[in-house]
Amino acid sequence: MIEIYHNPRCRKSREGLAIVESSGQDYKIIKYLENTPSKKELAIVLSSLSFSPLQLVRKNEAIWKEKFKNKALTDDQIIEAMIKYPKLIERPIVIKGNKAVIGRPAENIIELLEN
């Protein structure tokens, strides 16, 4: 089953969801702003993406700039920041099996779903 970490207010996330829906594959929507992922869930997402925690952070978010930018943070501290402030998590994230992509650009999702 496909999983999509989705923010309905985000245009790119809505575009990603439309691609997933049009694929005809079974999927599950995870509204991560309402149901914040646990540390373990984020670790799985990061592993599926082959990302470091910092690569998953939306660095242009005001919260990041105000509280975390230019600070020497460990991976654990970055993960804790994303759990406390889920707006920091890049979106949309689409997971299929043990692989995942960020849907920016949307073509990333298409490639994932075709493989």
Tell me the per-residue pLDDT of 36-92, one tens digit each, with 9 for 90 and over: 999 999 999 999 999 999 999 999 999 999 999 999 999 999 999 999 999 999 999
Whether 66 is catalytic is: no
- The catalytic position among 3, 5, 6, 10 is 10
Distance CA 86, CA 93 (A): 13
Do residues 7 and 91 lie in contact, with contact meaning Cβ atoms separated by under 8 Å? Answer: yes
Residue 101: DSSP 8-state: E
- Amino acid present at 55: Q
Q: Which two tokens stand for residue 15?
A: 């575009």
Mean pLDDT of all residues in the chain? 97
pLDDT at 115: 83
Closest among 7, 9, 2, 5 to 23, alpha carbons compared? 2
pTM (whole model) above 0.85: yes
List the domain boundaries for the chain: 2-114
Question: Hey, which CATH number is domain 2-114, 1.10.20.10, 3.30.930.10, 3.40.30.10, 3.40.1050.10?
Answer: 3.40.30.10
